[in-house]
Amino acid sequence: MQNRAGETALFRAAHYGKTETFDFLTEKILEYDEGGKKPFLQRKDGTTILHIAILTEHFGLAVKIAERYKYLVGQRDQDGMTALQLLTYFPSAFEAVQERGFLHKISSLGMYDQDSRFPT
């Protein structure tokens, strides 16, 4: 079921950084085709679960989402913003940490070449 904004329980789990709930619900939609998964991964205004994980600064979950649903990295919301563009608003995503940061992880997925803003 979706709320008025088009959010499902999976979307809300991403919004609140509930990783265990997110993992459980993701397993429930594994066998759906891409069209069947879309209502679970994107709300009516175009915001995806990757967008919302970044907006709410759940960067660990955002990496997991980007690895599992690579095509969401280039999806645009109603403002025309991709998940990578949203990162520019969060300096904490670029801070040095023990592991490489979120930007390195998401860019290492191989979806973007170094000379382009667009998927390869």
- Tokens describing residue 2: 């979706």
Spell out the domain ranges in the chain: 9-107
Alpha-carbon radius of gyration of the chain: 14
pLDDT at 98 > cutoff 50: no
Fold classification of 9-107 is 1.25.40
Average of pLDDT values for 96-107? 57
pTM above 0.95, yes or no: no
Report pLDDT for 104: 64
8 A C-beta contact, residue 61 and residue 53: yes
Give the distance from CA 31 to its chain's centroid.
19
pLDDT tens per residue across span 107-119 = 666 544 444 444 4
Secondary structure in 3-state letters for the chain: CCCCCCCCHHHHHHHCCCHHHHHHHHHHCCCCCHHHHHHHHECCCCCEHHHHHHHCCCHHHHHHHHHHCHHHHHCCCCCCCCHHHHHCCCHHHHCCCCCCCHHHHHHCCCCECCCCCCEC
Average of pLDDT values for 90-108? 62
pLDDT tens per residue across span 13-71 = 999 999 999 999 999 999 999 889 999 999 988 999 999 999 999 999 999 999 999 99
